[in-house]
Amino acid sequence: MSIRERLSGNEAAATAMKQINPDVVAAFPITPSTEIPQYFSTFVSNGTVDTEFVAVESEHSAMSACIGAEAAGARAMTATSANGLSLMWEMIYIASSLRLPIVMSLVNRAVSGPLNIHNDHSDAMGVRDSGWLMLFSENNQEAYDNLIMAHRIAEHKDVLLPLMICQDGFITSHSIENIELIEDENVKSFVGKYEPKHYLLNDKEPMAVGPMDLQAYLFEHKYQQAEAMKNAKKVILEVAKDFEKMTGRKYGLFEEYKLEDAEMAIVCMNSTAGTTKDVVDHLRQKGIKAGMLKVRVYRPFPAEEIAKALSNVKAVAVLDKSDSLNGAGGALFEDVTSGMYINGNTAKVVSYVYGIGGRDTTAKEIESVYHDLEDIIKSNKVDNPYRYLGLRKE
């Protein structure tokens, strides 16, 4: 029996953390993720959890504390956004290279400068190749569900990589939605007890953490990280199957929305998918064969699977809520087009950068993308593959 509740995305994340009851949470406040450790600290104060809550002096210290805790054999969690993630940058790479399965809630926000506290994906894209698993969440329910699954994935013996759960700042983090919670005892059973094989406080196996790793070994260690990232794809799907048995809610590497007979498709992530689904429904009523693919698992990137899912469409638009500033489209666009090319998918593809700094993206603008795809299909060419959506022209 699920528990019906009304929670914001931040409350949902904090509730998942409460039910997981990690050994250590270390965090520093930053908008719009501040509420997650704030809510969680009340659970610590009232004795709902027995977590050691570490109020640190910076985000760099927060990740450092999580690294120390996880290396010692504890299950550790944290939360941050934007500039906070940037301040963690050094430790983000250390966490993954040490193969520590830390779980972080990343409430996506524009990275300064100039200063902006609203949503885009520039923070996540800045660390996309740091060796962290990355799951994106369309709504509050997905943010909660992804967190419940996170430790099972990250701590798997074939993975052992840190994992971040992304949701859109203010759009989902502060918006209240209906949500179905899982009973505490079922969460506890599903997540399981953390039993690391190697850890610093094991007096039967003295070990060092973070030694020098020079020419003789670093290459091989990075290869091992890369193999663990590949292994994670299978583990993510296995955990999702167990989660579906418990809740009835099904998750894959991505969600296909009316793609079966679609002639054109938008690829996007997080909350934009909800608006896009409404537009697809509207266009379908007009007889336009539109579809959507929502990426849930961004790292490891499911290149082969996405190429196959898009194999029947004639034109694809990839929406990036951050600009790579590279003159060649956004990060998601690059990943999708690379995966399509390698796997023999020759559909026409166009990049759209949108929503920077929290700029509203309307259903009308999403619909205009589909009409652009209609023109691409008719002409069988892409005049300008690098475009902006919702950018003022004056």
Mean pLDDT of all residues in 241-247 = 98
Mean pLDDT of all residues in 299-310 = 98
Mean pLDDT of all residues in 22-33 = 98
Task: Specify the domain boundaries for CATH 3.40.50.970 within the chain.
Answer: 3-247
d(CA 161, CA 100): 6
| Tokens at 117, concatenated | 């506290």
Assess whether pLDDT exceeds 70 at residue 237: yes
Assess whether pLDDT exceeds 90 at residue 253: yes
Give 254-389's CATH code, choosing from 3.40.50.300, 2.60.40.10, 3.30.1300.10, 3.40.50.920: 3.40.50.920
Q: Give the ranges where 46-88 is alpha helix by DSSP (H).
A: 59-72, 82-87
d(CA 165, CA 150): 8
Mean pLDDT of all residues in 260-275 = 98
Whose CA is closest to 7, among 138, 120, 117, 139? 139
Q: Are 236 and 244 in contact (CB under 8 A)?
A: no
d(CA 212, CA 96): 16
What pLDDT was estimated at residue 394? 61
Whose CA is closest to 166, among 211, 95, 104? 104
3-247 has CATH 3.30.310.80 classification: no
What percent of the chain lies above the pLDDT cut of 70?
A: 99
Residue-wise DSSP of 229-291: HHHHHHHHHHHHHHHHHHHS----SEEEES-TT-SEEEEEETTHHHHHHHHHHHHHHTT--EE
Mean pLDDT score of the chain, rounded to an integer?
Answer: 97
Task: Specify the domain boundaries for CATH 3.40.50.920 within the chain.
Answer: 254-389
Question: pLDDT-based confidence at 393, cuts 50/70/90?
Answer: confident
Mean pLDDT of all residues in 65-71 = 98
What pLDDT was estimated at residue 1? 64
